[in-house]
Amino acid sequence: MLELYHSINSVCAQKVRIALAEKELPHKEHLMTLGGDQFDPAYMKLNPNAVVPTLIHDGQPIIESSVILYYLDEAFPERPLMPVGPFARAKTRLFNKLIDEYVHNSCTVLTFATAFRPGHQKNAKPASLRLPVSSALHKSAT
Ligand SMILES: N[C@@H](CCC(=O)N[C@@H](CS)C(=O)NCC(=O)O)C(=O)O
C-alpha cells in the first residue's frame, strides 16, 4: 500500500503526485497544511526534516522528492518514467540534480518564509492582481 504526505502548493510534492498519476498508482493521501503539522512528532518520525513529501510504501517511509521518484520507478517498473539508454538516464539524473541542488535551494527561503505561512495566505492577493516579478523589481528600483 502507498501513502503520500503532501501539501497542495509544494512543488516537491507536486513532482511525486505527477509520478503517481503517470504510473497510475493508487495511494492514500494525507494532506498537510504546513501550518505546524509538519512539526508533529509523529510526522517527524516519518520525515525528520519536517517537510513534504513523504511516501510510505508498506509501512516504510521514503523521503526526498527525487529519491521518491527513483524509488517509485524501481518499485513499480510498469509505465517507466526513466528513459531506457544510459546516456538518456544520465541526462535525466543531471536534470534532477540541478533542480534539487539549485532550484529548490534558491526557492526554499522565500517559500518557507512566505508562501506556506498562514499569515501570507490570508493576505495574499489573487494572482490577477499581482505584478509580474520583473515589473515588481523595476518598481522597487525606481
Ligand atoms: N529536498 C526536499 C525539500 C522538501 C521541501 O522543502 N518541502 C517544502 C515544501 S516544497 C516543505 O515541506 N516546507 C515545510 C515548511 O514550509 O515548513 C525534497 O525534495 O523533498
Q: What one-character DSSP code corresponds to residue 37?
A: G
For residue 21, the Cα-to-chain-centroid distance in whole angstroms is 14
pLDDT number for residue 102: 86
Give residue for cell 544510459: 86
For the whole model, what pTM was predicted? 0.81
The grid coordinates listed for 112 are 518557507
Ligand 1 centroid vs 107 CA: distance in angstroms?
10
For the chain, what percentages of helix, strand and coil (3-state, to nearest 5) are there? 55, 10, 30
Instruction: Give the residue among 124, 126, 142, 123 at the shortest CA–CA distance from 134.
Output: 142
Domain definitions of the chain by residue range? 2-75, 86-141
| Ligand 1 pocket, Cβ-based, cut-off 6 angstroms | 10-12, 34, 38, 51-53, 64-65, 104, 108, 112, 116
The grid coordinates listed for 116 are 506556506
Residues 2-75, CATH architecture: 3-Layer(aba) Sandwich (3.40)
Q: In ligand 1, which atom is closest to the CA atom of 15?
A: 19
What are the 10-residue block averages of pLDDT along the chain, 142 residues in total?
Answer: 94 96 98 94 97 97 97 98 97 94 79 64 47 42 42
Mutate to test the pocket of ligand 1, among 52, 68, 96, 100 (most ligand atoms within 8 A of CB): 52
Please tell me whether residue 21 adopts helix, strand or coil conformation.
helix
Question: Is the separation of the CB atoms in 52 and 10 below 8 Å?
Answer: yes
Per residue in 52-72, pLDDT tens?
A: 999 999 999 999 999 999 999
The grid coordinates listed for 14 are 507536486
Ligand 1 centroid vs 23 CA: distance in angstroms?
23
Alpha carbon separation from 75 to 2, 4, 57, 106, 131 (Å, rounded): 11, 15, 10, 31, 43
